[in-house]
Amino acid sequence: MNKDNSESQDTRAGLIDHPLVGQYVQNIKSNSWFAQTPVGNHNYPIDIGAPGKAPTAVQIDSMIKLLAHLPDIIASSNLPEAPTNEWMIKHPDYRLVNARISVLYLYEDGSFYVCLNAYPEDDWSPTFEIFPDFKVKEAAWDV
């Protein structure tokens, strides 16, 4: 960040410093930005993104509000704890509500896409498309 508290470009890595997310990457083609940063009370990095040239406080606040509701959202989705019986036998302790968040994207219309971590070696990931009012649009185990 430069002296006037605005963004500065790190030309070596294509990263832009920002007070809300640390550093982010701007995708000019899709008019969106992406960052890997902790959000809300999650103390691990989450891949986040949203439309626009740079992260805004409104966008980050929307993400924090969503994350506060995420356990209830997951429960209301009725998504099974495992994609297959074989997977469940292999990972008997896995619970959706305890899974780390891998990806969180805020769309222009205020809806969200959330992908939870599972076991990468098994290729399955639980994903959620969520309306702006935090109701589940779609939940699935994706490969």
Percent of the chain surpassing pLDDT 70: 91
Q: From CA 99, how far away is CA 32, in angstroms rounded?
A: 26
Alpha carbon distances (Å) from 85 to 27, 29, 46, 96: 40, 42, 29, 15
Mean pLDDT of the 67-85 span? 96
Return the pLDDT at 122.
82
Given pLDDT bands bounded at 50, 70 and 90, which one contains residue 120? confident
Cβ neighbours of residue 61 closer than 8 Å, sequence gap 6 or more: none
Extract the tokens encoding 107. Answer: 């769309």
pLDDT (tens digit per residue) in 5-50: 444 444 335 899 999 999 999 999 999 999 999 999 999 999 999 9
